[in-house]
Amino acid sequence: MGNPTHTQIALVTGAAQGLGQHIAQRLHAAGFKVAISDIDGEAAQRAARALDASGGTAMAVSLDVAHRTDFEAALAAVVDRWGELQVLVNNAAVTRATPVMEIDLQEFNEVVGINLGGTFAGCQVIGGYMAGQGYGRIINMASLAGQNGGTSTGAHYAASKGGILTLTKVFAKELASRGVTVNAIAPGPIDSPMVKALVPEERLPTLLSAIPAGQLGDADFIGDMVVQLARPEAYFATGTTWDINGGLFMR
């Protein structure tokens, strides 16, 4: 297949709201057709209609990333609708703000299963399809929490995001020879519903004072970084993690 010269198709998980919705919007604005997937199918429908009421360049897919079969069904739905799929953004994630010494194993496994397990399933199912096509772009949403142990997020969230950094390298090595790149983006605190839910308003000044850049990150900029990694010209970037964290973590 090689580098596509026509409109590309992107599937974004957890895209009905928050950062995932911004990513879907930026991909759509850049000319991609976008499949908005979410565990909340009705919310995915609303988000898809907001992008394109006619349904020509946006579609909704109900997808629970904790289930491999959901990825298989989502891939089949997109291919049935548009004939192909070139881009996957593994964005869906959950966290709990439970103190580390109070997290029970069930809660730990649930968060890691969704965040890390969902990324694994997406890379395996859709990465395998892309390898068969000879082209693909996978972008995994990691986090600063996976690099510095987290601050407001739970230990299970931080551990799962650290695992995503490693999985990105594993799949990058596995798929590189077949035209598929796999990269990660590790945002710091973004101006998003998740951050605002985890950080009470009275603690926000303290958070901002700890960020060298002095402000929260911009969700649309994260979306634009996804667009860059999703382009055919990004063939030489694979196995990388792009840090966007206001200077909180440097290497």
> What pLDDT does residue 1 have?
56
Q: For each of the chain's 251 residues, which pLDDT tens digit applies?
A: 567 768 999 999 999 999 999 999 999 999 999 999 999 999 999 999 999 999 899 999 999 999 999 999 999 999 999 999 999 999 999 988 899 999 999 999 999 999 999 999 999 999 999 999 999 999 999 999 999 998 778 999 999 999 999 999 999 999 999 999 999 999 999 988 777 777 888 888 998 999 999 999 999 999 999 999 999 999 999 999 999 999 999 98
Pair 88, 138: CB distance under 8 Å: yes
Ordered by start, the domain boundaries in the chain are: 9-239
Please give the pLDDT value at position 199.
80
Predicted confidence at residue 248, as pLDDT, reads 94
CATH number of 9-239: 3.40.50.720
Which CA distances in Å does 50 have to 18, 32, 57, 60?
14, 15, 11, 11
Cα(14)–Cα(111) distance, integer angstroms? 14
Is 157 a residue of the active site? yes
pTM across the whole model: 0.95
Res 33: pLDDT: 98
